[in-house]
Amino acid sequence: MLKTIAAFDRIGEENAFAVLARATQLAATGRDIINLGIGQPDFRTPDFIVEAAVKALRDGHHGYTPAVGILPLREAVAADLHKRFQVEVSPDAVMILPGGKPTMFMSILMFGEPGSDILYPDPGFPIYRSMIEFTGARPVPVPIREKNNFAFSADETLSLITKNTRLLILNSPANPTGGVTPKAEVDKLVAGLARFPDVAVMSDEIYDHMLYDGETHVCLLQYPSIRDRLIVLNGWSKTYAMTGWRMGYAIWPGKLYDHARKLAVNLHSCVNAATQYAGIAALTGPQDEITKMVAEFDARRKTVVAGLNRLPSVSCTTPKGAFYAFPNIQRTGWKAKPLAAALLEDSGVALIGGPDFGVLGEGYLRVSYANSTENILRALDRIGEFLNTRKAS
Ligand code: PLP
């Protein structure tokens, strides 16, 4: 028998991919499946971005690039952050990575080991906990509560920090709840972190363009007091409808940059060269398609929230960001995962049970509105019919 390390008994997954596989399998049998499960924009990558990648290939950009990414792209990231958040970021602190995920993978590897605590949002993106467990660190959930509009509570977060805490993971706008933490709460959290100078912060800001109702993004780089221990995760996947291109970026403080560079050299060498040129076009080109996408998500958000609130025994807080709604289904009598499974198998609607995002996700479903309004309305009809006719099991 091959004997691999015990950490592989602890690593988790993202159930959204399993739901997608099952939905695809059912669709292949001829079933009409409406997918509100997957967290990716249903738009095409804007043409000018695709053209930039094609041109890069035609221009002969076929080889390895520096492991940290090409300088013009790192400069474009720094300029974009400066333009949007008035922050100074050196291109030498920017690293281009194959997606947003590698930043969480690398930062958790840098701080996770037996004896260390890592704080992460629950409900939250499942890979945080999975990676924390993989390293042998203790996962400490930071509760994200509906009564708090799914924002972080600064006081509660600070109260969970111990002498063993090495890393705090933040995510706003958030997956799976669509919650956005208000600036006053972030201010309070950052002020409180002054008492814990040895705690690093990883801020996952991958949904930073997807904000509604006049919200503006609070980028953690705007807080000089934590810059020397702040890692920012961001990327192109959601904003530019580029999930399959696999490109993201990280801002690393101090020596963490070199740790990450070495991990990149050991792991993937560099991000695909043509994709990096597409990334420059995305950041420096016209942003109107992005504005249009966000406006379309906003319209769907209103449709989905209103529709969910009309369903029997379902209530849904209005999310302020990302492209997810997180309806409360506690009064239906169903547990979330059996309900999600039955909705897929019996009604052909794919969505994700809240517990796939942490124990505090019980009683909720994640509904991705990255699908057409027509499909959202059809899905809502099917869910309504299901809840009216089926008893909880
Ligand atoms: N962070 C959050 C909160 C996400 O929801 C996702 C993707 O769903 C990611 C990071 C990963 O993004 P990428 O596809 O660029 O790796």
| HEC readout, 38-71 | CCCCCCCCCHHHHHHHHHHHHCCCCCCCCCCCCH
Q: Among candidates 159, 171, 174, 163, which has minimal Cα distance to 138?
A: 163
How far out from the chain centre does Cα 298 lie? 18
Residues 6+ apart with CB under 8 A from 250: 94, 95, 97, 102, 103, 106, 107, 231, 232, 233, 234, 260
Q: Is the pLDDT of residue 393 over 80?
A: no
**The CATH classification of domain 7-44+289-388, taken from the options 3.40.50.300, 3.90.1150.10, 3.10.20.600, 3.30.1370.60:** 3.90.1150.10
38, 175, 239: residue to mutate for ligand 1 pocket, most atoms within 8 A of CB: 175
Q: What percent of the chain has pLDDT over 90?
A: 95
The DSSP bridge partners found for residue 33 are none
Closest CA to 104 of 154, 170, 157, 40: 170
* Statement: residue 305 has pLDDT above 90: yes
Give residue 378 CA to ligand 1 midpoint distance, Å.
27
- Asked whether residue 135 carries a pLDDT value surpassing 80, the answer given is yes
Mutate to test the pocket of ligand 1, among 209, 238, 352 (most ligand atoms within 8 A of CB): 238
Q: Within 13 Å and on the Cβ side, how many CA atoms surround 79?
A: 11
Q: What is the pLDDT of residue 326?
A: 98
DSSP 358: -
pLDDT band at 392 (very low <50, low <70, confident <90, very high): confident
Q: What is the DSSP letter of 285?
A: S
CA of 185 from ligand 1 middle (Å) equals 23
Among 125, 130, 144, say which to mutate for ligand 1: greatest number of ligand atoms within 8 Å of CB. Answer: 125
Residue 309 confidence (pLDDT) above 80:
yes
Instruction: Tell me the residue length of the chain.
Output: 393
pLDDT tier for residue 390 given thresholds of 50, 70 and 90: confident
pLDDT band at 358 (very low <50, low <70, confident <90, very high): very high
Residue 314 φ/ψ, nearest 5 degrees: -115, 140
What is the reported pTM?
Answer: 0.97
- Out of 28-42, 52-66, 195-209, 218-232, pick the least confident: 28-42
> How far is the centre of ligand 1, averaged over its atoms, from the C-alpha of 79 (Å)?
22
CA atoms within 13 A on the CB side of 330: 7
Q: Is a pLDDT exceeding 90 seen at residue 208?
A: yes
Which atom from ligand 1 is nearest to the alpha carbon of 243? 14
Calculate mean pLDDT across residues 102-118.
98
Q: Please state, in angstroms and as integers, the Cα–Cα distance from residue 64 to each residue in 147, 280, 326, 351, following that order.
A: 49, 17, 42, 39
Average pLDDT over residues 162-172: 98
To the nearest whole number, what is the mean pLDDT of the chain?
A: 97
Phi and psi, residue 65, nearest 5°: -115, 175
> What are the residue ranges spanned by the domains of the chain?
7-44+289-388, 63-284
**Residue 40 pLDDT more than 80?**
yes
User: What distance in angstroms lies between residue 206's CA and the mean position of ligand 1's atoms?
Assistant: 6
Judge if the beta carbon of residue 179 lies within 6 A of ligand 1.
Answer: no
Ligand 1 centroid vs 183 CA: distance in angstroms? 22
- Residue 90: what pLDDT? 98
Mean of pLDDT values over 111-133: 98
Q: Are 343 and 351 in contact (CB under 8 A)?
A: yes
pLDDT at 39: 86
Please provide the DSSP assignment of 305-319 as one string.
Answer: HHHHHHSTT-B----
pLDDT at 38: 85
**Which strands, in side-by-side order, build the sheet including 352-353?**
324-325, 365-368, 352-353
Ligand 1 binding pocket includes 245 (Cβ within 6 Å): no
pLDDT above 90: residue 131: yes
Which range among 13-17, 208-212, 227-231, 336-340 shows the weakest confidence by mean pLDDT? Answer: 13-17
178 lines ligand 1 (CB under 6 A): no
- Give pLDDT, residue 391: 77
**Ligand 1 pocket member 139 (CB < 6 A):** no
If one residue of 101, 120, 144 were mutated to test the ligand 1 pocket, choosing by the most ligand atoms within 8 A of its CB, it would be 101
Q: Is 347 a residue whose pLDDT tops 90?
A: yes
First to last CA, the chain: 41
Ligand 1 center–CA 125 separation, angstroms: 8
For residue 98, is pLDDT > 90? yes
User: Is the CB of residue 175 below 6 angstroms from any atom belonging to ligand 1?
Assistant: yes
Tokens of 212: 């509604």
Specify the pLDDT at position 275.
98
Whether residue 73 is predicted with pLDDT greater than 90 in this model: the reply is yes
Distance CA 91, CA 62 (A): 23
pLDDT of amino acid 7: 95
Residue 14 pLDDT = 87
> How much distance in Å is there from the Cα of 202 to the middle of ligand 1?
14
Whether ligand 1 lies within 6 angstroms of the CB of 125 is answered as yes
Q: What are phi and psi of 193, to 5 degrees?
A: -65, -15
Tell me the pLDDT tens digit for each residue of 238-262. 999 999 999 999 999 999 999 999 9
Label residue 15 by pLDDT band (50, 70, 90). confident
Q: May I ask the CATH architecture of the domain 63-284?
A: 3-Layer(aba) Sandwich (3.40)
CA distance 234 to 250: 6
The pLDDT score that the predictor gives to residue 1 is 85
CA–CA distance from 214 to each of 53, 286, 321, 338 (Å)? 34, 21, 10, 36
